[in-house]
Structure 1
């Protein structure tokens, strides 16, 4: 911006014009400062947001876990893929704090964080007779602590429940102290299966469903039997599928097609009704969401079983706060989903959030959506079910996918397998 001095307008007929006031000292300096301030403001407005970015090395076939201020990478050995090396990075700086070799081999892996321990689970162990095996390492130091058969489930009191067997093998349960693997209680292996009731970060109740015999509700912390009952239909016949949803035990029968609901603590019968084929039942807050292959989604009143609403528009639905997030049934087979916000009591559509792929997120983490940007990289947005808004955060130029979100942080994989850590605004 330039300033042009046009001088002063004078009336030529004025016989005694007033003297011109002196020009203030420093005016050119002030004009230059104003010009610099304007240019700086325009430059700041046009500049892209500053990103705090950290690169974390990982292979394409690595298993990873974002756990608070740690990022855990389980890399395969290029010469022997059944062997793994675990490296832990401290966030947000990305410093490698420890590394260790996992002392078992296998083909399928997983990482769980429980009560100060990192558990590495081998689901297809190469050790004869071991089956699924979990190995515990100290979260802060990487020191080896213990290993035991079974896959881990975190309990509400901080105990680790190890479940072994399944499919054609008897199922065994063992609750252990995470610090040292000391067994607190265990049950003998039985045929059948177990379903769990989660509260916040862990499980507080278990429902043991044997092939024959009564169903048992157990306290997960102690293994004590809280309730026992024969839930088979009158006159005998198969029990059906048992699920635990929202402090209720659901028995879904196929012949005839029925759903019967019991209280979790005492197995007291609440209500029963006919149903078409049910693929799964979802916790939708004040209602039960029944997803059926031919009849779409039905929402039933928790207390009475009466249908509150139904729709064939939604591919899937899940509870998020006091709202429901749903995906349109006509969404393509890609990872992108057309996301909407629903009122759980009426099924009314409250907001349209657009097409997004949801980043993995833990309990209490924000809901983050990503999608490919036309110019490359990933567009990132925070999805707010309460306000019904998708708030754009950034475009990550070299991110490819496999994103994991936590409070204030987003990790996304690059095409070479490494990860980039982006600090997200509040």
Structure 2
């Protein structure tokens, strides 16, 4: 919002009529000319630049997805179908957006959900029928909405090749690599869903690990579909419960009710170290360390070379990202919000307690996260979480919104009080 300084209003002394100078000839004409020039200048000036804001109609069951300057809505319609609507969001302007295209997609009402991602020149909409344990993916031309292909399975990775996971609801499944432009299946690997785990790199998923209840552990190249290594890791070949998870260059295997953890090199499945921890829920990378998350909360940071404990915290339960030696962690909050804090990666020392927020978007390119939290009735504070900088900064106040926000690199979308979606352009 632009503010115009009008100055201060003062009471000036009134001159005595006898002391007033004689009226200059032609003064009224000169004043009129100056005023005309000023009015013409103001009339030709551009109006103040306001942030771009648009609205689109939506129902309570409509889901919104963002990619660059594109905005997609997926909504159930009559019977067993749904509708995908695509919008292009201009850089300037205000008002209601006009759809680029609409397309039909099978989406039964009830116990079903959907997601949409742009991969290359297609938008892939995956529907998940949780009641049946099945899913299916449908690809549309991102420019026109023309159907390209549809295949069984939901998205496991949105890079190229596209990875689809399909299950039969009976404990068997398949991971398939698909050409996003044509839907051609390049290779497939049969898996047991509860025995499969994945390693993600900054450029996408690159390893699939299969650890079945009996038999060898297998590591597959997710980009070529080639099996890289296979080895039985059970002690003395015994059939014992174990869970395998790749983290960095290691494969961490938890046994004996998740209390005994053994690390193997992911490349050759060679044994590196073994430690005992409390009941471990899962592992993840914490920059140069490995974070082990307890089943009842808490984080233990491990040295990946030896398994030695570097530090432990009990309040926090999840790690979202690590940047420049600092971790963004989360803990219990209220409602849809969680509590967040920034820790020193090397020591676990608290750098900043950020309070409660609802994270709505993360842009890997600049490492910053957007979040919102209530600020009274019908208002949300929009904040920028700067992990490396050690704080959260207020960016704006959103009014007339009910929540359900998400953000990309250039767009922000929230549900408005009247039910429609509001779309803002972001200046990041």
Q: What is the CA deviation profile of residues 372-414 of structure 1, one whole-angstrom value per residue up to 9, with x for unaligned ones?
A: 1114321111111111222111111111111111224211112
User: Residue 298 in 1 paired to residue 300 in 2?
Assistant: yes
Q: What is the CA deviation profile of residues 76-133 of structure 1, one whole-angstrom value per residue up to 9, with x for unaligned ones?
A: 11x43x320110010236441111111564633222322222122222299xx99322
Q: Report matched runs for 1:101-116 at 5 Å.
A: 101-103=104-106, 105=108, 107-116=112-121
Q: What is the CA deviation profile of residues 289-331 of structure 1, one whole-angstrom value per residue up to 9, with x for unaligned ones?
A: 1121457321111111100001112133322323211234xx4
Change (3 A) 1:381 1:345: same
Is the CA contact 2:320–2:330 (under 8 Å) kept in the aligned structure 1? no
Partner of 1:210: 212
Is the CA contact 2:134–2:169 (under 8 Å) kept in the aligned structure 1? no
Stretches of structure 2 that go unaligned for 5 or more consecutive residues are 1-8, 16-26, 39-47, 92-96
TM-score, normalised on structure 2? Answer: 0.82
Is the CA contact 1:232–1:239 (under 8 Å) kept in the aligned structure 2? no
Return the alpha-carbon distance in structure 2 between the equivalents of residues 235 and 268 of structure 1. 16
Q: What is the alpha-carbon root mean square deviation over aligned residues?
A: 3.3
Question: SS of the residue aligned with 1:359?
Answer: strand
Question: SS of the residue aligned with 1:314?
Answer: coil
Q: What is the CA deviation profile of residues 190-237 of structure 1, one whole-angstrom value per residue up to 9, with x for unaligned ones?
A: 676321111224211111222321111111111111111112134624
Partner of 1:264: 266
Partner of 2:64: 64
The number of aligned residues is: 391
Is the CA contact 2:68–2:410 (under 8 Å) kept in the aligned structure 1? no
Is the CA contact 2:368–2:387 (under 8 Å) kept in the aligned structure 1? no
Return the alpha-carbon distance in structure 1 between the equivalents of residues 11 and 201 of structure 2. 68
User: Residue 145 in 1 paired to residue 143 in 2?
Assistant: no
Q: Which of the pair has more CA radius of gyration? A: 1
Partner of 1:85: 83
Partner of 1:134: 137
Question: SS of the residue aligned with 1:387?
Answer: coil
Is the CA contact 1:155–1:221 (under 8 Å) kept in the aligned structure 2? no
Change (3 A) 1:275 1:235: farther
Of residues 84, 96, 100 in structure 1, which corresponds to 2:99?
Answer: 96
Partner of 1:40: none
Change (3 A) 1:133 1:6: closer
TM-score, normalised on structure 1? Answer: 0.82
Stretches of structure 1 that go unaligned for 5 or more consecutive residues are 8-25, 37-47
Q: Report matched runs for 1:321-360 at 5 Å.
A: 321-322=323-324, 323-328=326-331, 331-360=332-361
